[in-house]
């Protein structure tokens, strides 16, 4: 499963990129707002740091507005992916951009039928929001499983990008359910390496090694 980081924080992206974890980045207006920086500058800087896909979201709600913004954002860098809302105008824009060779990410997906429409529109990625479904007492992983079965039934090329990931367990379950990608907050990505038994084991190894009085170098 590919890992995208869900952030617009340049320092977090640099750190995770150095570990070799990152396959791409997703941003949204809320994340850009938190950075306090110019939207287009942030996208350009992220694209220069990470060679993989970088999702940049349109702000317009109409077909004409989304087309204009999407085509403009796509010119920032070759690895920009245009993030579009799961609406009829968003799907129409998706089809338009795909025909022009521009990659797309249809976001705010909450049902298998929406995911089916996104695939038929030719979306590069579709983003089911796992955590937000869980908030309404609906198991978000059921949606991932339904999408996987539908996409495999018809050999759709659209990739399932699990979003609204809130925990290490979400990452594991999305991987088991067959998501192609997970977009994950920085803290959750780093937390995947943690386990109490690993910490205890290292503590014991360090104590045993110190008792030998030896040095490797």
Active site residues: 83
d(CA 175, CA 130) in angstroms, rounded, equals: 13
What distance separates the 2 farthest-apart alpha carbons in the chain?
72
For the chain, give percent helix, strand, coil, nearest 5. Answer: 55, 20, 30
Neighbours of 108 (CB within 10 A): 19
Instruction: Identify whether the C-beta of residue 183 lies closer than 8 Å to the C-beta of residue 165.
Output: yes
String of b and e for 202-212 (b: at least 16 CB within 10 Å)?
eeeeeeeeeee
The conformational region for residue 137 under phi > 0 = left, psi -120 to 50 = alpha, else beta, is: left
């Amino acid at each position: 499963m590919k890992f995208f980081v869900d952030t617009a924080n340049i320092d977090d992206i640099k750190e995770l990129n150095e570990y070799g974890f990152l396959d791409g980045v997703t941003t949204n207006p809320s994340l850009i707002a938190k950075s306090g920086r110019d939207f287009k500058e942030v996208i350009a800087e992220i694209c220069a740091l990470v060679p993989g896909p970088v999702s940049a979201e349109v702000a317009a709600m109409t077909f004409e507005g989304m087309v204009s913004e999407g085509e403009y954002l796509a010119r920032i860098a070759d690895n920009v992916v245009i993030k579009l809302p799961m609406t009829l105008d968003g799907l129409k824009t998706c089809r338009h951009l795909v025909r022009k060779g521009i990659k797309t990410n249809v976001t705010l997906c909450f049902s298998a039928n929406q995911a089916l429409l996104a695939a038929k529109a030719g979306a590069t990625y579709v983003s089911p929001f796992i955590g937000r479904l869980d908030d309404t007492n609906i198991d978000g992983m059921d949606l991932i499983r339904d999408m996987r079965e539908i996409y495999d039934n018809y050999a759709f090329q659209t990739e399932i990008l699990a979003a609204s990931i809130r925990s290490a367990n979400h990452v594991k379950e999305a991987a088991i359910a067959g998501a192609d990608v997970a977009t994950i907050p920085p803290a959750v990505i780093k937390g995947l390496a943690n386990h109490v038994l690993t910490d205890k084991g290292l503590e014991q190894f360090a104590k045993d090694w110190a008792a030998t009085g030896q040095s490797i170098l």
